A and B are shown apart, each in its own frame.
Chain A
């Protein structure tokens, strides 16, 4: 099983600032990495797949990078609707999720 580890667990950011979220895989996930956003009481929403490709309708302020075992999600200028929990997921070998990073208002 590929174990996904996200850091930090909680990120406190002011609106308009940049947020950088990290995700590490216990073994190579190649570029088979997705990022999801989840708000309270809602289902997750796909943001990024293939490590760096934005899903349909996702604003350009969301960007993904990395390959192999190290991945990053960057939100360039946080807006109020971006405060949520973010999960990374590898799909290189079965499917496993990270434990999530909560982005909260500073």
Chain B
């Protein structure tokens, strides 16, 4: 079935780095943009970043711009989030989520909402 599975979370000291992964299965990974979304303990959802289907276009929330890097390997059906210079406020459950828009031949349609989510991976930044 269509599935996203995150991994790589853990406890890390402030200022250090961590890389998250998101493995996709059950659909053609290279036809979809994928987002990272995070949720601090007891808080709401915050969009973090998106990488489009071909990996060429990437965008970030202001809160992580310059510290986080999103990437993907379509040959491995895997998404990544490299997180550098981590701060206490980055502590959250990190979800990968598929953008609903289907992309083919350089054209995407029907996108924007997040129709498939992983189970999340917890990142704790200690000071």
Q: Chain A residues in contact with chain B, CB under 8 A?
A: 32, 34, 36, 42-46, 49-50, 55-56, 87, 89, 91-92, 94-100
Interface residues of B (CB under 8 A from A): 35, 44-47, 50, 59, 95, 97, 100, 111-115, 117-120
Is A34 a contact of B118 with CB atoms below 8 Å?
no
Determine whether the beta carbon of B44 is less than 8 Å from that of A89: no
Interfacial chain A residues near B59, Cβ < 8 Å: 94
Docked Cα-Cα span, A45 to B112, in Å, equals 14
A interface: dominant SS? loop
Q: Which residue of B lies closest to A49 (CB)?
A: B113
Asked if A94 and B115 make an inter-chain contact with CB atoms under 8 angstroms apart, the answer reads no
> Nearest 4 pairs between A and B by C-beta?
A91-B112, A49-B113, A43-B117, A34-B113
* Shortest Cβ distance from residue B125 to the other chain A in the assembled complex, whole angstroms: 21
Task: Find A49's partner among B95, B112, B118, B119 (CB 8 Å cutoff).
Answer: B112
